[in-house]
Structure 1
Amino acid sequence: MFDSRHIRTFHEVVATGSYTAAARSLGYTQPAVTQQIRALEREAGIQLFTRDGRRMRLTEAGETLARHAEVILGNLGAAQRQVQAMARLRAGRVRLCAFPSANATLVPEAMARLLADHPGVRVELLEAEPPESLQRLLAGECDIALAFSYPGMRAEVPPELVEIRLMEDLLTVLLPVGHPLARRHAVRLSELEQARWIAGCARCRANFLHVCADEGFEPDIVFTTDDNLALQSLVAAGVGLAVAPSLVLSFLNHRKVTGRTLEPHVRRQVSAYVLREHLALPATGLVLDGLRSAAATRVGC
């Protein structure tokens, strides 16, 4: 079995191109690096480097190990962070990573309930769109991830994670208040075929293109942003229209923008995700309970 310290040193030699540079990067002496590489070669039973003049060159076995070294070190790092996360969770400290509209709606309501009932729990709030939020969870960079998915575009949930479905979020269309269709309660997407559009995050944009294709047209997307405040200002300024989830309507604060129900109805699924082994920890359960309660007050849950 390879020693992880030797793998780390080997990876640094490959990355920097020499024993001397690797020693400088790792804070070792050059002889210490040489000794670790020799120890790794004894463990492997084969030579990993040859010299080509002054340069180090990987042997065929070295190239094979180099392909695996980054993955091995990445997995070790993730494992270390996940174990450390368990210690933090047992101490009542939770890192919650959510997408912007959830951070502006569900999370504040959940945290208010949590702090009122359990003031000893401490929450660190992070922000990321899916799938980045789930990747951060798997990497041990957060403890709970809030994410969303669209019908027909759901990815497989990794086996390490548990999904807790919270609510369905109906999509709406954002219009300038003076738009001819703003007087209606609902607007059919096909009626807006000639409009200019502002698209959101990559996942939202992909869903929007899919829905428009079902309605028989390709939208003219002139601007892209995942900043909800910028989105409202762009709509108000007449740059284009936008499709936004109902969660955004609860903090729609631009007096020149209004939201209307979009037809056909499209709903995104909002869920919380947690590592399976962290699910039973008290701090995790308390935060999840708060998120469930906040989601239950929303239309469409």
Structure 2
Amino acid sequence: MFDSRHIRTFHEVVAAGSYSAAARSLGYTQPAITQQMKALERTVGVPLFTRAGRGLRLTEAGEALARHAEVILGSLDAAQQQLGALSRLRAGRVRVCAFPSANATLIPEAMARLIAEHPGVRVELLEAEPPESVRKLLRGECDVALAFSYPGGEAEVPEELVEIPLMEDRLTVLLPVGHPLARRHAVRLADLAEERWIAGCPRCRANLLKICADEGYAPDVVFTTDDNLAVQSLVAAGVGIALMPSLVLSFMCHAKVTGRLVEPHQHRRVSAYVLREHLRIPATAVVLDELRRAGASRAGC
């Protein structure tokens, strides 16, 4: 294994033409240069220099190493610059996996500030519902995972992960604008027992079944889709109603659909997850900071 200091000194000896000239250039003593070159020759296993009068001549092995030395040192310098940029937050890549409504709301807000304040940090965006987003994190397919959980349905966080709470997202019921209950500020879940329902992802569907059971009935689920735009279209068409998080209301696309809070109060917790050791990576830490700010700005919305 080459010592990078020996390679750098070797490169200077070749450029300067002698040990003494290299010593002056590097600020070393000549014996120190001699010792380093002997150590390098021991590593290589063959001589690198022969004497030619007062100067030095490269052996065949020395010529081969000289051809590679500049490339090696260039790569080392590039690596040092890149690592320095990463540690000073001038650069870095962070892979974020989030669920659809977070990708449409929290992520754009956080990334806009990130681009303005840390333009060298690049974010790659993936999409998955929980718990698949957390599984991707554990498999190394992303660096930060956004997920949500409902009261009573929280899964235990694996020991190697850290959970960073971002916000509580209140639940609303989506109704056609002409629905008799759309005139109310909030709608009691008990008043929706006779409605047809559109359910979302498995975690959301399980929560819908639970909270309706708490009110004494089983919802009549006629459609299931985790496509937020499809849910809105189905509600607009009058074929069913849906329980949706308030984050979805910020990108409501249908004028024929309205959202109303439900009673009793319902919410889901939105969190970011990261491997414990990755908290020390500057680019990851700054992405988490921006996600916290985005979540705080929407708290209570």
> If the length of structure 2 is used for normalisation, what is the TM-score?
0.70
Write the mapping of 1:162-173 to structure 2, written as runs, cut at 5 A. Answer: 162-173=162-173
Q: For residues 283 and 259 of structure 2, what CA distance do their matches in structure 1 show? A: 37
Residue 205 (structure 2) pairs with residue 205 (structure 1): yes
In 2, Cα distance between equivalents of 1:275 and 1:300 = 28
In the other structure, the counterpart of 1:109 is 109
> 1:238, CA displacement in angstroms?
0.8
- Structure 1's consecutive aligned runs of 4 or more residues displaced over 2 angstroms after TM superposition are none
Cα distance between partner residues in 2 of 1:132 and 1:295? 21
1:37-86 Cα deviation digits (max 9, x unpaired) = xxxxxxxxxxxxxxxxxxxxxxxxxxxxxxxxxxxxxxxxxxxxxxxxx9
Normalising by structure 1, what TM-score?
A: 0.70
Q: Which residue in 2 is equivalent to 1:124?
A: 124
Q: Is the partner of 1:96 in helix, strand or coil?
A: strand
CA distance in 1, matches of 2:267, 2:178: 26
Question: Would you say 1:230 and 2:230 are equivalent positions?
Answer: yes
| CA deviation after TM superposition for structure 1 residue 160, in Å | 0.7
Deviation at 1:117, TM superposition (A): 0.3
Gap runs ≥5 in structure 2:
1-82
Q: Which residue does the alignment assign to 1:81? A: none
Q: Deviations over 1:103-122 (max 9, x none)?
A: 00000000000000000000
**Offset at residue 299 of structure 1 (A):** 3.1
Q: What does residue 139 of structure 1 align with?
A: 139
The letter of the residue matching 1:183 is: R
> What secondary structure, in the 3-state scheme, does the structure 1 residue paired with 2:298 have?
coil
Which amino acid in 2 is paired with 1:228? N
Shift of 1:280: 1.1
Give the Å deviation of 1:300. 2.5
Instruction: Measure, in 2, the Cα distance between the counterparts of 1:129 and 1:209.
Output: 18
Query: Sequence identity, in percent?
Result: 77
**Cα distance in 2 for residues equivalent to 1:184 and 1:263:** 11
SS at match of 2:280: coil
Is 1:180 the equivalent of 2:180? yes
Q: Distance in 1 between matches of 2:293 and 2:162?
A: 18
| Cα distance in structure 2, aligned partners of 1:196 and 1:147 | 27
Who wins on radius of gyration, i.e. which is larger?
Answer: 2
SS of match in other structure, 1:279: helix
- Structure 1 gaps of 5+ residues are 1-85
C-alpha separation in 2, matches of 1:194 and 1:245: 21
Aligned-partner Cα distance in 2 for 1:290–1:192: 38
Aligned to 2:300: 300
- Quote the Cα distance in structure 1 between the aligned partners of 2:208 and 2:197: 10
* Number of residue pairs aligned between Structure 1 and Structure 2: 216
Q: State the match for 2:23 in structure 1.
A: none
* Cα drift, residue 178 of structure 1: 0.4
Q: Distance in 1 between matches of 2:239 and 2:179?
A: 13
Letter in 2 for 1:152: G
Paired position in structure 1 for 2:240: 240
By how many angstroms is 1:253 displaced? Answer: 1.6
**Alpha-carbon distance in structure 2 between the residues aligned to 1:290 and 1:225:** 30
Structure 1 match to 2:152: 152
Other structure's SS at 1:294 match: helix
